[in-house]
Structure 1
């Protein structure tokens, strides 16, 4: 039973097939280039795409738009302290702005930065600062139904240190939930182990906390130590081991824009806070607004508190599970158990006749749009070149937005794609234009169906 009723609606339409075909071709077979009005069910991302509550909208009317000393900033700072346990924050316009602020202060030329699995912008910011992002997931994490497949392999971190030297590892990162690895959660036991290895290296321990509430829900559900705790209590516990957090408020802040860096109030972290604060002023704006309007600060202050409410997070996770079940019932190979924000489809298994060099994940993304104007995102070899990532397609559910009929439409769209697959009509794609920065190519690269090239060659 849904925990919400609608008080505002936005009309959507399903373009006809000819229009969808033309849209795909015009977009260069990259769904980032599609107009939102051409999309019927948009599962590209859960970042900033959700529906805000009446309390958030009401709070926006109280926004203090002062350049310095904003009361709205004070309310956000208090919410972060209460919900996440960090008293010092540096606001930013969104998560990648926060990444720029923190990783630019932490990472330098020749550094190595381990993480359970780096996401695209995290990889790019570390590389842009001269560092080398190193993925350290648990071996075979997605091979079975592990309760915490998102965990960091701390022994892999130690092996990295043996190879490059502790002096070249300034930070240990942990992303909760592990977005790049099928949105799988991380246990508190693993958070503690990551804290321990960071102490061994005298490194800063950073948690990417964008989906901290969803991770806390899974911990309470699957880690016996926390079975009797509230989501809010688990959220504080799992973050209490970090020196710093990077937060996109567009996920578990339940807002459409905004983020922040949180740094523990510890004298040993004063220099890091001072440097990051200066970078925040340089790149994002003065410390009490950081690229956001006062009304945005107010909405996030309310959203953070709502994110750890039991009814909200249970409804959120349950909707993702329902979509996973609908797809699995139709034979779609989805990662089980499902994560907290998205269903991940094994595109290589779904399209076994499309080889890796023809980007089966991106091919599936395009077919979903062609057949039902459903927009997902590829998180495999197209998005992460030169990495050993599984060929996944992510279907991210915007928070408090879609209903059961939308989920049914997605499942029916997969059925139609399967029919085209079985008829041998899906041949894969090739890149015809891409940006210089490989870590970000999936945002703007253009592709074409391989059969177009083959036909041209034959002529």
Structure 2
């Protein structure tokens, strides 16, 4: 059942195919470089792209813009305590600002950070501290076809192998990302979270939950974990988050806001350390790089995120798009996660080798064919990692409807029908930070000579 109705609408138009082709070439075959006005259905990200509620818009008008001691911060602090269970909050302008504050406080040169799967900015922030980000996914996490309920879980066995290899003294940080964005938005069970908590205690490491999509994860727990079948999403969220020493949060996801983030902890020493670093990089501790009105809107959004009617509609909308694509014969990672449908580009373009980025080729063809913008999360975004060739179609919250999804499915069907005409891509310019190359690198279709050489090598 839809949990809301529209009060404000925005016109969108589908540019001509000629215009889309020109825009794609001008963008260097990188969807991040496309002008938003040239995009018809924008599924690049669910981060800060959703529609706010009327209560959030009201909070914007009531925002307190005081530099210090803002009442908007008091509202955020209260919401974090009520919804997430942590009393001390350090705000930041968005999630990666919060990552800089927290991981800059916890990591040093030569350290190792363990995560169920590092996302791009997390990996980059860990590396920026001179530390080594190591993924610990469970077996089957990278198999798009298996149908396990908690494919986002953290592998304790893999983590123990790493500790045995490098020593516990080099592993000061264990991170659990819920839901697991880099593993197709798959959820993490509370039981697994408890095991990670015990493991972190065992090696004397700080346990951090990346809580960007904590409400979506809690919804899956209520549907898939027997212990919590009678619990509310709000109850599960507090239970699961309460196992951590600290949270890092992008308010642009399950904060339902267009900007903002924070670190939350009850560890007094860590709180003070983060607060001082935030003053240096983000702003005074009661605004953290945000306008007071945005702090107030995020405070309201956190409370709305755990409302049963909202979160059920949110997750079921993602499931609906996944089911429509599957029914149309489009290869999809299953089961669908909480915020996005992940297309299996390797299965869509089996003739394009990984070094020619089949996922990025699929991103480009979805845009060229129907003005649909997604993002590659395979060998282009995560070089030198063993991950499937996926394309994420992230659904902005409270924004699109079934008619939009029907266009997405028709577009994907057209790409699949013409898949033998699609060539791979090669990079022509790279940014200095390899972990973030997918944000700004430029590509071009592979030349006939390159394609022939690759075919010869494979033979």
TM superposition score category, shorter chain reference: over 0.9
Task: Output aligned runs, 1:23-422, within 5 Å.
Answer: 23-143=23-143, 144-264=146-266, 269-421=267-419
Could you tell me whether the CA contact under 8 Å between 2:142 and 2:387 is conserved in 1?
A: no
> What is the Cα deviation at residue 274 of structure 1?
1.3
> What is the Cα deviation at residue 436 of structure 1?
1.6
> What is the Cα deviation at residue 455 of structure 1?
10
The Cα offsets for residues 244-299 of structure 1, whole Å up to 9 and x where unpaired, read as 000000000000000000012xxxx3222211111111000000000011100110
Change (3 A) 1:440 1:142: closer
Taking structure 1 as the reference length, the TM-score comes to: 0.97
Q: Within 1, Cα distance between the matches of 2:230 and 2:365? A: 44
1:448 corresponds to which residue? 444
Q: Within 2, Cα distance between the matches of 1:376 and 1:181? A: 16
Number of equivalenced pairs: 451
Compute the RMSD of aligned alpha carbons.
1.2
Partner secondary structure for residue 102 of structure 1: helix
Q: Give unpaired runs (5+ residues) of structure 2.
A: 454-459
> What is the Cα deviation at residue 451 of structure 1?
3.4
Q: Within 1, Cα distance between the matches of 2:31 and 2:17? A: 16
Partner secondary structure for residue 348 of structure 1: helix
Partner secondary structure for residue 181 of structure 2: coil
Could you tell me whether the CA contact under 8 Å between 1:142 and 1:335 is conserved in 2?
A: no
Could you tell me whether the CA contact under 8 Å between 2:142 and 2:388 is conserved in 1?
A: no
Q: Within 1, Cα distance between the matches of 2:268 and 2:220? A: 33
2:6 corresponds to which residue? 6
Q: Within 2, Cα distance between the matches of 1:97 and 1:254? A: 17
The Cα offsets for residues 309-350 of structure 1, whole Å up to 9 and x where unpaired, read as 000000000100010011001111111110000001110001
> What is the Cα deviation at residue 454 of structure 1?
5.3
2:456 corresponds to which residue? none
Taking structure 2 as the reference length, the TM-score comes to: 0.97
Please identify, of 29-38 and 445-454, the stretch whose mean Cα deviation from structure 2 is larger: 445-454
Could you tell me whether the CA contact under 8 Å between 1:47 and 1:251 is conserved in 2?
A: yes
2:457 corresponds to which residue? none
Could you tell me whether the CA contact under 8 Å between 2:213 and 2:253 is conserved in 1?
A: yes
Q: Within 1, Cα distance between the matches of 2:114 and 2:451? A: 45
> What is the Cα deviation at residue 140 of structure 1?
1.8
> What is the Cα deviation at residue 141 of structure 1?
2.1
Q: Within 1, Cα distance between the matches of 2:265 and 2:21? A: 48
The Cα offsets for residues 33-77 of structure 1, whole Å up to 9 and x where unpaired, read as 000000000000000000000000011111110000001100100
> What is the Cα deviation at residue 131 of structure 1?
0.3
The Cα offsets for residues 417-449 of structure 1, whole Å up to 9 and x where unpaired, read as 01211xx21011000001121100000000000
Could you tell me whether the CA contact under 8 Å between 2:116 and 2:135 is conserved in 1?
A: yes
* 1:435 counterpart = 2:431: yes
Q: Give unpaired runs (5+ residues) of structure 1.
A: none
Partner secondary structure for residue 418 of structure 2: helix
Q: Within 1, Cα distance between the matches of 2:290 and 2:183? A: 30
> What is the Cα deviation at residue 150 of structure 1?
0.2
Could you tell me whether the CA contact under 8 Å between 1:67 and 1:286 is conserved in 2?
A: yes
The Cα offsets for residues 110-143 of structure 1, whole Å up to 9 and x where unpaired, read as 0000100000000000000010000000022243
Partner secondary structure for residue 47 of structure 1: coil
Change (3 A) 1:89 1:413: same
